[in-house]
Amino acid sequence: MTTLNTKLQAVVFDWAGTTVDFGSRAPILAFMALFSDNKVDITIEEARAPMGLEKRDHIAAVLAMPRVAAAWKQAHGTEATVADIDRLYQDFIPYQLKSIPLCSALIPGAVEVFADIRSRGAKIGSNTGYASMMIGQLVKDAAEQGYEPDCMITASDVKYGRPYPEMLWKNLIELDVSDIKTVVKVDDTVVGIEEGLNGGCWTVGLAVSGNEVGLSYEEWSALPESEQTILKEKAYTKMRASGAHYVIDSIADLPAVLDAIEDRLAMSEKP
């Protein structure tokens, strides 16, 4: 006999741009510095385009962009090779280790949302495109601010990163979750939403706090409302096109969505 689950069992969060690092700036600082030091300057837009992928895959995706590929060939005399990608990834690690602590502040409202999730009896999972070797200081900094998820899975802990749902499923195995329809994946990237959809759970896209707008909280707050509206509309359009069940500004707006999902579960709805 199956049991009707109407309560959430777990919410699985991304890290940069979702729970910490408003604007998801740490990876961008690292990627831009890495490429610049390798004689190829890339734009913020080029650095952001593959965001959410495992970092080696991210580097390969940037190098595959026609403009970047041409610039690399001009600078180095030959097209980028697999060996180049491997070297860049190894070189990237210290850049990332340097930038992550600069951008480790929790996103405003996050602590209250974590308490809300706990009050529902649900567990908190997390995953990231960062490798495990990159995440130690960030996890420590987050804990000091009151964020200690029940599970932490990195891209280096699985065979396939996003959009494959392996990191998500590994969370659920470790959290003893029995029913995928009682799970919510929250992410600020399209590939992170695809991970949740491929895994079979509810998905919530964050339009403002993460990769799509790409501004720090201070930069965002300083913008005139008219400029915020333009950026929000663009970000919402992209996140909705990803197939996310819900799109909100930031993690601070999540409790109302969780209420709505629990109402739908009570009516036997599935993602």
The one catalytic residue among 21, 55, 57, 188: 55
The one catalytic residue among 14, 21, 187, 188: 14
Return the sign of the alpha-carbon dihedral for residues 113, 115, 119, 125.
Answer: positive
Which residues, 6+ apart, have CB-to-CB distance to 95 below 8 Å? 29, 30, 31, 33, 34
Q: What is the DSSP string of 170-210?
A: HHHHHTT---GGGEEEEESSHHHHHHHHHHTSEEEEESSSS
Which residues, 6+ apart, have CB-to-CB distance to 241 below 8 Å? 190
Q: CA-to-CA distance for 248 and 265, rounded, in angstroms?
A: 20
Is residue 55 flagged as an active site residue? yes
Active site members: 14, 55
